[in-house]
Each structure stands twice: as structure tokens, then as C-alpha cells.
Amino acid sequence: MSFKKKIAVLGSGKGSNFVSLAKACADGTLPAEITLVISDVEDAKILDRAKEFGIPNKFINPGKYRTKLDATAETTCIKTLKDSGAQWVALAGFMRILKGDFLRAFEQKVINIHPSLLPAFPGLEAWKQACDYGVKVTGCTVHLVDHGIDTGRILAQGVVPVLEDDTSTTLHQRIQEEEHRLYPRTLARLFSNKIN
């Protein structure tokens, strides 16, 4: 009998956070199995990364809205995730808001990584918001997903200093390096009940 948690990953982009989770599952530092990767973007690199790891992956057409899944897509997504056996859902650059039925289907089991020290800079391109504001430190946050935008309970944060010559691109690169450390480590601590 396996005591590994079953997690699914949802992403819209290049999938570097998915890769950090998949590597941690493979080397045993994250006692979990990724059952499925879903993307709302048909040619998203995250789907290619999933194939490289031999993990089932699926594009789900999000429907007519820009910022959320339509009702059909949401139903399909929930069913596909449940059928995969996923107990937890890890968002990794998934650029749509999940609400209502989805959050009820995975109550307190949807986790997100956000590229700022929440509650500062919620929403899009948080690294650019940090650069434009002129903060001296920023970072990333792993949190539970609730009905708000980047508002759920904070599980862990990693700090990244903003350097004198940083551009939003170089800052995002360093935030991502911290994300790749923080996300697997936080899930491992969560699954072993080391986070209250």
C-alpha cells in the first residue's frame, strides 16, 4: 500500500514549477505522485514537460472566458482530476481563477505558488509590480486557494532581495529559483503535518 499523496498539477505556461515538483517526487524528497497535469493552453510547455516525465497530461479547452473556466470546462476538469485519483491540486502558473464548484470539490486541498510576498502584489506579473514599486525585498508565497485572488492561508514564504541593477526579468528569474526550492519543500512539510 502506498502512503504517497496523489497530486495533480494545473499550469498555463512553461512548467518550471511542475518540473521542480516532479523531480522532488522522483528523488523521494516529496512523498507524492503526480497523477495528471492539466493545462488550459493547448501548446503550453508544461504539457511537454509532463510527457518527458511520463506523466499523463491533458489540455482542457477553457471556453469563452478570459480569466476563468466556463461551466463545461470546470465540470470536465473536476471529473478528470477525480478520475486520476488526485487528492490535492497544485497550481503552478495556472492563470485562471478557480471558484465555487471547483474549490468545493477539493475543499482546502488546492495550493498555489505566487511570485511575491503576499499580501503584497497579488494578481498578474507580481515581479514587475515589485520592480515598479521599488521594494527592496520580494519573494514568493505558497498558499491555500480560497475564493479571493491570492488571498488564501499562507503556508510558506521565501524572500528574494531586489538588486540595484535588477530588471523585472532578472528579478523574476531569481524569484523562480526560490519558487523551485520552496514549493516541493512546503508540500512535503504539509503532507507530513508539519504546517499548522
Q: Where do contacts with ligand GAR occur on this chain (CB under 6 A)? A: 11, 13-17, 46, 92-93, 113-115, 126, 176, 179
Q: Give me the least distance between CB of 46 and ligand GAR, in Å please.
A: 6
Catalytic one among 114, 143, 172, 180? Answer: 114
The yes-or-no answer on residue 114 being catalytic is yes
Position of minimal CB gap to ligand GAR: 93
Residue 62 zone, left/alpha/beta (φ > 0; ψ -120 to 50; rest): alpha
Contact 182, 176 (CB under 8 A): no
Measured from the CB atom, the residue of 83 and 132 that comes closer to ligand GAR is 132
Q: Give me the least distance between CB of 87 and ligand GAR, in Å please.
A: 21
Q: Give me the least distance between CB of 1 and ligand GAR, in Å please.
A: 32
Alpha-carbon distance 79 to 77, whole Å?
Answer: 6
Q: Which amino acid is at 58?
A: K
Measured from the CB atom, the residue of 75 and 157 that comes closer to ligand GAR is 157
C-alpha cell at 163: 538588486
Kindly report whether the peptide bond that precedes residue 119 is cis, defined as omega within 30 degrees of 0.
yes
Measured from the CB atom, the residue of 43 and 196 that comes closer to ligand GAR is 43
Q: Give me the least distance between CB of 97 and ligand GAR, in Å please.
A: 10
Measured from the CB atom, the residue of 75 and 151 that comes closer to ligand GAR is 151
Strands 154-161 and 137-144: antiparallel
Alpha-carbon distance 4 to 130, whole Å?
Answer: 37
Q: Which residues are catalytic?
A: 114
